[in-house]
Amino acid sequence: MKKATLFLVVIFLSSGLFAQENKLKNTGDKPSSKEKKEARVEIRKKQFIEKAELVESRKFVLEADYLVSADGSRHMASSDLDFIIVDSSRAVIQSGENVGIGLNNVGGITAKGNITSWKVERNEKKLSLTVRMNVNTSLGLYTVFMYSPSNGKTTATVSANFITNRADFVGKLVQPEDSITFEGWSF
């Protein structure tokens, strides 16, 4: 009986010590909601600066995760086949599929040409970028409007003067050396 009583006393004392230790750990470790919000704002500012530098260098690739057609239907895309490359004064706009041959040998269309107009707008308050450019290719003139928030995916609306439809490329901006694109044939 003495052993059982001693055992219960030891259990009660040790559980009280563990409870106090957990209280001490929990009170000091958690950042406040204000600190969390400030950390998120700092991360967004850093992402905005990185994207702005990338866009203003005029050397980047928008690798599409999905495409949105003019009627609003959303299609999964292969980022290695569906992309927009900007390299100084030249651009490549490509859509492709993993099956079929197509005009560009990757199941779609590849338009390569010169950038004839370029305008970048920075919104410091909303931490977003917009890019407007025209690309003159052998397939015609393409107008590209890009919107890039600091914490989300970039959306590029591409329309051509010879087609009434448009398509949205939605994905991430990457540096050309980090890109995994495969460029098909262009005319």
Tell me how far apart the alpha carbons of residues 38 and 51 are, in angstroms, rounded to a whole number: 20
Structure confidence at residue 161 (pLDDT): 77
Position 122 pLDDT exceeds 80: yes
Cβ-based neighbour number of residue 75 at 10 Å = 13
Tell me how far apart the alpha carbons of residues 126 and 32 are, in angstroms, rounded to a whole number: 24
Structure confidence at residue 150 (pLDDT): 82
Structure confidence at residue 28 (pLDDT): 58
Tell me how far apart the alpha carbons of residues 26 and 99 are, in angstroms, rounded to a whole number: 55
**In this predicted model, what pLDDT tens digit does every residue of 123-168 receive, in sequence order?**
999 999 999 999 999 888 999 999 999 878 999 999 987 666 789 9
Position 109 pLDDT exceeds 70: yes
Choice between 105 and 37, residue whose per-residue pLDDT is larger: 37
| pTM for the whole structure | 0.77
Main-chain dihedrals φ then ψ at residue 108, nearest 5 degrees: -165, -140
Position 182 pLDDT exceeds 60: yes
**In this predicted model, what pLDDT tens digit does every residue of 69-86 receive, in sequence order?**
888 899 999 888 899 999
Structure confidence at residue 166 (pLDDT): 87
Structure confidence at residue 104 (pLDDT): 73
